[in-house]
Amino acid sequence: MFQTHEKKLIYITLGILLFFFLVSFLVIYPQYKSIQKMNNYILELRTSLELKYEKVRYLHKSQNILALAKQITTELKSSFIKNGEEISFIAYLEDLADKFSIKQKINIARADKTKNQDIDKIDLQIDAQGGFVNLLSYLIALEHSDYLISISEINLSRDSSFLINMTLKAEVYVQN
């Protein structure tokens, strides 16, 4: 059926194919599996490193926020009235009134001390009378003062002499 040189050619071709299959199965396939394992390991390592990087980044961000919170707390504490220095705060209000030519009456009521806190609240009501520009300048000076003054209500009215009456309700805080 086949001639000898055709048989030789078929055997050589089959031998070469068998050699390629053996090389593929014994050398290339194990290397392919090894490369896949390394690829998976690298992917896991990369994911792990990214998670660690995010944790470190979050830690640095938290440290920055904590430092900022400490700074703000220090600034906030410095804006409280120190215990025993309430008179200096009232003197400050009186000086502002004199500076802006305003007549004022100050009513102070110390609120109950909050448990487990170093801060007392003082309810403050200021009844002031003067020109509109003077009252506005007074409010701006209060806003820019070093004291933490939380204004809850402002009422303005005009009397028959065209002076403005202002009632200001606020809270100030005393650090014990």
pLDDT tens for residues 155-169? Answer: 998 888 888 899 999
Following DSSP, what letter does each residue of the chain receive, concatenated?
---HHHHHHHHHHHHHHHHHHHHIIIIIHHHHHHHHHHHHHHHHHHHHHHHHHHHHHHHHHHHHHHHHHHHHHHHHHHTSEETT-HHHHHHHHHHHHHHTT-EEEEEEEEPPPPTT-SEEEEEEEEEEEE-HHHHHHHHHHHHTSSS-EEEEEEEEEE-TTSPEEEEEEEEEEEE-
Confidence category of residue 64, pLDDT binned at 50, 70, 90: very high
Q: Who has greater pLDDT, 12 or 84?
A: 12
Confidence category of residue 54, pLDDT binned at 50, 70, 90: very high
Of 99, 144, 108, the C-alpha closest to 126 is: 108
Question: Beta strand pairing status for 149-158 and 103-110?
Answer: unpaired
- Looking at residue 2, its pLDDT comes to 65
Mean confidence (pLDDT) of the chain: 86
Q: Who has greater pLDDT, 44 or 82?
A: 44
Of 146, 158, 151, 103, the C-alpha closest to 127 is: 103
Confidence category of residue 114, pLDDT binned at 50, 70, 90: low
- Looking at residue 29, its pLDDT comes to 84
Confidence category of residue 27, pLDDT binned at 50, 70, 90: confident
The answer to whether residue 120 scores a pLDDT higher than 70 is yes
- Looking at residue 116, its pLDDT comes to 53
Least confident segment among 59-63, 78-82, 163-167: 78-82
The answer to whether residue 93 scores a pLDDT higher than 80 is yes
- Looking at residue 53, its pLDDT comes to 94
The answer to whether residue 42 scores a pLDDT higher than 90 is yes
* Domain spanning 81-175, CATH class: alpha beta
- Looking at residue 32, its pLDDT comes to 87
Confidence category of residue 71, pLDDT binned at 50, 70, 90: confident
- Looking at residue 111, its pLDDT comes to 65
